[in-house]
Amino acid sequence: MSKTYEGGEPLAEVVRSGFVEGVHRGSVVVLDAAQATVAGAGDGVSPIFPRSASKPLQALGMLRAGLAVTDPADVAVVSASHAGEEFHLARVAALLGSAGLDPGALHCPPDLPFGEAAREAVLRAGGGPSRLAMNCSGKHAGMLLTCLAAGWPVDGYWRPEHPLQQRLTATIEEFTGEPAAAVGVDGCGAPVLAVSLTGLARAYLRLVAAEPGSPERTVADAMRAYPEVVGGTVADDTRLMRGVPGMLAKIGAEGVIAAALPGVGAVTLKIDDGATRARMPVLVSALRRLGVRAPVLTEYAEVPLLGGALPVGGVRPVW
């Protein structure tokens, strides 16, 4: 595996009034259920930061280290990039409260809710940023509870050298099948590991193909049972998991998404310029190469562009 991401190929074009005004480049990997490469473009073997697409693997590492939660929806929120809706905040607060902690124990920075409606509701009520509303607060709550369960100090739980983060690193390396090429600081302050899109796809396949009751299957099942907890009521990964039975999906910042379907295969991709508008049309194109069909995919096949509040074009895959 190269230490440097080489960059991708043209994956989507931006068409306005019949004129191609831009192109989004990136990389994509398509594996079948046996982890064989079906298709790909760009650089699928060099490391990238999967960002929040790593969260299901981090949640898996927490369960294996002793995190004990009985409600699958709590596993889902630990794996989430939530939108800060009321039910998200209540669930994270309850998780913290179950261990005698409050939001002040979270290391993630104060933020407004990620979802537009939730953000506007907070501002209308005279509120402001909070650690609880930060979209990674569920992951951080899970990290704190894991430390308490394992007997590790909560101080500095986010530092790469902390026993918790060492355990999570080992889990990610095991499931991707490759050593982390770099350790960075994610937007929430926790470590993020650089692995390849191919390794990430392998890991997602292992989650959905695992034996029922295993920690990895527990994560996959929880996310698929409570997709609105993972992303929010209108998030792309939420809608994918609702609309394609059995699909596990998780978005990440900088144009990343990973998806897997048991017995079918997995897709991982990164849009090089981080544009979210190109992510879903390219994912649909990739999933169709695996024979996946669903109405929600038709809805995502092209992202509309507006002119004068009317559709005048779209972002569509060229790969």
223 burial level (CB within 10 Å; 0-12, 13-18, 19+): buried
Task: Please name the amino acid found at residue 277.
Answer: R
**pLDDT in 10s for each residue of the chain, 319 residues:** 667 999 999 999 999 999 999 999 999 999 999 999 999 999 999 999 999 999 999 999 999 999 999 999 999 999 999 999 999 999 999 999 999 999 999 999 999 998 788 889 899 999 999 999 999 999 999 999 999 999 999 999 999 999 999 999 999 999 999 999 999 999 999 999 999 999 999 999 999 999 999 999 999 999 999 999 999 999 999 999 999 999 999 999 999 999 999 999 999 999 999 999 999 999 999 999 999 999 999 999 999 999 999 999 999 999 8
Q: CB–CB of 261/292 below 8 Å?
A: yes
pLDDT at residue 228, rounded to an integer = 98
* C-alpha count within 13 angstroms, C-beta hemisphere, residue 235: 26
Q: What backbone torsions phi and psi does residue 153 show, to the nearest 5 degrees? A: -65, 145
Helical spans, DSSP H, in 125-211: 137-150, 163-176, 197-209
Helix (H) / strand (E) containing 147: helix 137-150
